[in-house]
């Protein structure tokens, strides 16, 4: 297995950023290896033409590369059928596609069950069906940030038609037991959708083994380019689903008053696709495969262990962190606060002598900007999971998230910088 320093050599951006830069915002987007940049460059310099439409060599080559990318990515997530993989712009569009299309079959009183730890992209597309009388229910979390299975069971009823769940939480790092939840959902007759935006990049994911009906993920969070994402779906369900967007490529025939849909996956890919994006994502998949997804997972476990050890050693009394402590159920995501700012505190604007201190805490935005001064990139905010931040009783958190080019010394730098912010806070 390559060391993180060896991995870094494959990523030109780290030459630009210089030594000692800790990029710890991988849950938002990851950096791109040279092989991905080259694959995109090669497409535009040797194959650029529109797919499907051309009866000439260049277009046939582009179409062939696009098909190969689809097959490669489908195999990466354990699907033997390339047609089960639909290209979208990102995980958000994948979830919108499935919510929009499946939602058309829901009746007033039907229920969709999600959890309180969802990203907005697995909440809002379902909320769009509320005016049609569909009920949206939330399974809660327990005090450690695991999915509360009692709450899940209580919210599952005879009217639950869809269970849609995040595989790994982008705020808590919690890894949900997708196989068990899928089994319960199916026993209840519900369709089971998995938001794999944070799991597919970080652990082996196999749709056949997990038994999910749909899996959504984004290319840019797994070393691929922005603007390409995927939706895996079970063929028998996809074939019955109405289209999402209308236009070219998704039709077989168009008449004045009706159209005949193309086969899956084209039925769900209206318009010119992001061919270079698909080819770039396929190169990213090759990179991850050669590193080994088990190795990605074990590397991140090691970094999380270091994180918890340093958190304990640092002994910063105001430091609060979120999510399960057992590494088995925890991805490489560390959300924390220096003191707690409840939503009410901000509303009443309890600002003390500077913006660094609100009530008895340091605002996560101030934490992130202070860390930026130490060449550490972390995210701060609600991480597109506002119902979860409110459930945790805070307005926001700071979040460090790891990937294969991060090292234990990045984690050491992080804790040194957090300690500096806490000291600064004490001085005020
Ligand atoms: C768990 C989860 N789901 C969905 C998304 C949406 O991904 P994208 O913005 O690439 O569509 C994210 C992005 O952070 C995420 O973390």
Place of tokens 């060599």: 57
d(CA 163, CA 389): 22
pLDDT of residue 220: 98
Please check whether residue 375 is in contact with residue 22, taking contact to mean a CB–CB distance below 8 angstroms: yes
Q: List, in order, residues 6 or more apart from 291 with CB less than 8 Å away.
A: 1, 2, 7, 404
Looking at the structure, do residues 85 and 193 belong to the same domain, yes or no?
Answer: yes
Residues paired with 233 in a beta bridge: 214
Q: Which atom of ligand 1 is nearest to the CA of 95?
A: 4
CATH code of the domain in which 340 resides = 3.90.1150.10
Please check whether residue 129 is in contact with residue 99, taking contact to mean a CB–CB distance below 8 angstroms: yes
pLDDT of residue 346: 56
For 108, counting Cβ atoms within 10 Å of its Cβ (0-12 exposed, 13-18 middle, 19+ buried), the class is exposed
Note down the domain range covering 106. Answer: 36-290
Total tally of structural domains belonging to the chain: 2
Residue closest to 181 by CA, chosen among 144, 206, 208, 156: 156
Tokens of 228: 């390409």
**Residue where a domain stops, chosen among 290, 308, 325:** 290
Looking at the structure, do residues 189 and 101 belong to the same domain, yes or no?
Answer: yes
- As averages over each run of 10 residues, the pLDDT of the chain (428 residues) reads 95 96 98 98 97 93 98 98 98 98 98 98 98 98 98 98 98 98 98 98 98 98 98 98 97 97 98 98 98 98 98 95 97 95 62 47 93 97 96 96 98 97 77
pLDDT of residue 350: 43
Element (H, E) at 426: helix 408-427
pTM equals 0.96
Looking at the structure, do residues 54 and 203 belong to the same domain, yes or no?
Answer: yes
Known catalytic residues are 384
End-to-end CA distance of the chain: 46
**Residue where a domain stops, chosen among 290, 323, 350:** 290
Looking at the structure, do residues 344 and 313 belong to the same domain, yes or no?
Answer: yes
Q: How far is the CA of 388 from the centre of ligand 1 (A)?
A: 15
CA 78 to chain centroid:
18
Looking at the structure, do residues 23 and 163 belong to the same domain, yes or no?
Answer: no
Looking at the structure, do residues 284 and 297 belong to the same domain, yes or no?
Answer: no
Looking at the structure, do residues 190 and 49 belong to the same domain, yes or no?
Answer: yes
Looking at the structure, do residues 285 and 328 belong to the same domain, yes or no?
Answer: no
Q: How far is the CA of 119 from the centre of ligand 1 (A)?
A: 7
Residues with CB under 6 A from ligand 1: 27, 90-92, 119, 121, 166, 170, 195, 197-198, 218, 384
Looking at the structure, do residues 371 and 222 belong to the same domain, yes or no?
Answer: no
Q: How far is the CA of 218 from the centre of ligand 1 (A)?
A: 7
pLDDT of residue 425: 72
Residue closest to 210 by CA, chosen among 234, 183, 191: 183
**Residue where a domain stops, chosen among 263, 290, 317:** 290
pLDDT of residue 359: 54
Q: List, in order, residues 6 or more apart from 263 with CB less than 8 Å away.
A: 83, 252
């Amino acid at each position: 297995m390559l060391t993180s320093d060896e991995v870094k050599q494959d990523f030109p951006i780290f030459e630009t950023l210089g030594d000692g830069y800790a990029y710890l915002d991988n849950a938002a987007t990851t950096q791109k290896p040279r092989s991905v940049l080259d694959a995109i460059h090669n497409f535009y310099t040797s194959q650029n033409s529109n797919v499907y439409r051309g009866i000439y060599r260049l277009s046939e080559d582009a179409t062939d590369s696009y098909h190969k990318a689809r097959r490669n990515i489908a195999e990466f997530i354990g699907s033997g059928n390339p047609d089960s993989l639909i290209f979208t712009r990102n995980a958000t569009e994948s979830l919108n596609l499935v919510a929009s299309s499946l939602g058309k079959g829901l009746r007033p009183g039907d229920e969709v069950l999600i959890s309180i730890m969802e990203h907005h992209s697995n909440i809002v597309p379902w909320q769009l069906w509320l005016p049609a009388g569909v009920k949206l229910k939330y399974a809660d979390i327990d005090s450690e940030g695991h999915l509360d299975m009692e709450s899940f069971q209580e919210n599952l009823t005879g009217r639950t038609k869809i269970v849609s769940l995040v595989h790994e939480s982008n705020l808590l790092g919690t890894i949900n037991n997708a196989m068990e939840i899928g089994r319960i959902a199916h026993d209840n007759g519900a369709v089971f959708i998995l938001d794999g935006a944070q799991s597919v990049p970080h652990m082996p994911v196999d749709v056949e083994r997990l038994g999910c009906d749909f899996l959504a993920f984004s290319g840019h969070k797994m070393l691929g380019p922005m603007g390409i994402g995927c939706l895996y779906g079970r063929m028998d369900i996809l074939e019955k689903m109405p289209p999402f967007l209308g236009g070219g490529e998704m039709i077989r025939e168009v008449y004045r008053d009706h159209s005949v849909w193309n086969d899956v996956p084209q039925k769900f890919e209206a318009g010119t696709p992001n061919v270079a994006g698909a080819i770039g994502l396929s190169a990213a998949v090759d990179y991850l495969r050669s590193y080994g997804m088990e190795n990605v997972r074990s590397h991140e476990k090691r970094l999380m262990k270091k994180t918890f050890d340093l958190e304990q050693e640092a002994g910063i009394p105001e430091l609060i962190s979120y999510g399960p402590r057992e590494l088995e159920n925890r991805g490489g995501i560390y959300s924390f606060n220096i003191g707690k700012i409840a939503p009410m505190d901000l509303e009443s604007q309890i600002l003390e002598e500077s913006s660094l201190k609100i009530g008895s805490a340091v605002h996560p935005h101030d934490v992130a900007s202070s860390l930026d001064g130490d060449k550490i990139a972390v995210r701060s905010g609600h991480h597109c999971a506002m119902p979860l931040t409110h459930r945790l009783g805070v307005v926001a958190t700071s979040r460090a998230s790891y990937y294969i080019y991060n090292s234990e010394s990045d984690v050491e730098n992080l804790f040194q910088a957090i300690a500096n912010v806490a000291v600064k806070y004490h001085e005020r």
